[in-house]
Amino acid sequence: MLSGGDLIFPHKLLYFLEVAKYENMTQAAKALKVSQPAVSQAISDLEDQLQVPLFYRQGRRIFLTDQGKTYQNYCQSAHKQLQIGQDLVRNQRSLEKGQLSLAITMPHVFPDLIQRFLEKYPGLSLNQYDLSHEEAIKQIQNYQLDLTVTSSHMQAPGLQKQVLVDDKLYLALSLDHPLLKQDHILLADLEPLDFIGLHKHYAFRQESDQFLAELGLRITHKINVDDAGSILRLTQTGRYASLITSISLPNAPDNLAYLPIMPQKAFRQVSLIYRSDPYPNPVLQAFLDFIRQLSLKESRTSLQPIEH
């Protein structure tokens, strides 16, 4: 008997449908542009595989058996679904009707860029997901996602990385804070301050703590929160300081002051990670090209390719 693991190749189903339509092996072979023996062999193989007769013969003509009629209905349905799937895939790979799927854990980075990309290609649609770095990488490798925006290090085969920006740290203070008399902040100025920040399990907290530790500094977090919005609201009281990244500055509230921390070194890289495919999705390729062409003046989010 035919088991779930026994595959029936699509060409056999196509040959079967053509023979059922013409009721003649020769005519079906002409329509398929193959030899008549090839069609006969395919039908014979199909009947052997299914272990039921699909046709009975009267002279040179052949007709469907009851089992053949049942099988024909399912084959026609399968053939229609394959055509729908083929059209869908073609549309998805088109710059007129395609779509792009991405994961991003920093939603404040991309809104303006995404809007401008969709303005350039109005027929496209975009699916955005909030996933961990590990889950995003897994879905990219499984062809469930096209790319991810991440600051985490990439350690996965078959993937490529395109650097978006070197991210730097700024100090956020209330507008009446005494440190505003300075035009920049030195590392030593951070030590006596009380900070409010994210809990230690957040990537940004881990990255910034490690960066400062490598520079010989450990800051004091008096309050740890889960909501980034709470950080800036409590910073406005003047009691606490907080850290903010350069990529977040364009969307930061203007009722706080933001000073560069000197020496101003990049503490992380924000990158695009995507599959290294021999036949890349043209929608993804268009998006990567769009990002590469951006400059600091053109992008309100201050994302620009790194100069190597």
Q: Which two tokens stand for residue 91?
A: 């549309």
Question: Quick count: other Cβ atoms within 10 Å of Cβ 110?
Answer: 20
The span from the CA of 186 to the CA of 170, in Å, is 11
Burial group, residue 228, by CB count within 10 angstroms (0-12, 13-18, 19+): middle
Grade residue 256 by pLDDT with cuts at 50, 70 and 90. very high
Q: Which tens digit of pLDDT belongs to each residue from 282-298?
A: 888 889 888 888 643 44
Query: What are the structural domain ranges in the chain?
Result: 10-92, 100-165+268-292, 169-262
Tell me which CATH code domain 100-165+268-292 carries: 3.40.190.10
Q: Which fold has domain 169-262?
A: D-Maltodextrin-Binding Protein; domain 2 (3.40.190)
Choice among 213-217, 231-235, 246-250, 278-282 with the minimum mean pLDDT: 278-282
Asked whether the domain spanning 100-165+268-292 has the same topology as the one spanning 10-92, the reply is: no
Q: In 23-132, which ranges are continuous DSSP H helix?
A: 25-32, 36-50, 66-92, 111-120
Contact 194, 174 (CB under 8 A): no
**Domain 10-92 annotated CATH 1.10.10.10:** yes
179 burial (CB, 10 Å; 0-12 / 13-18 / 19+) is middle
The model's confidence at residue 209, banded by pLDDT at 50, 70 and 90, is: very high
Q: What is the mean pLDDT of residues 128-140?
A: 88
Averaged over 11-15, what is the pLDDT?
85
Task: For residue 211, give both structure tokens.
Answer: 């960066």
Q: Is pTM, for the whole model, over 0.85? A: no
- Distance, CA of 51 to CA of 199 (rounded, Å): 64
* Residue 306 predicted with pLDDT over 50: no
Instruction: Answer yes or no: is pLDDT of 204 > 90.
Output: no
Other residues' Cβ atoms within 10 Å of the Cβ of residue 168: 18
Going by pLDDT thresholds of 50, 70 and 90, the confidence category of residue 154 is: low
Under DSSP, the state recorded for 251 is G
Separation between Cα atoms, residue 30 and residue 37, nearest integer Å: 12
- For residue 222, name the pLDDT band (cuts at 50, 70, 90): very high
Strands across the sheet with 185-186, in order? 185-186, 256-262, 169-174, 242-245
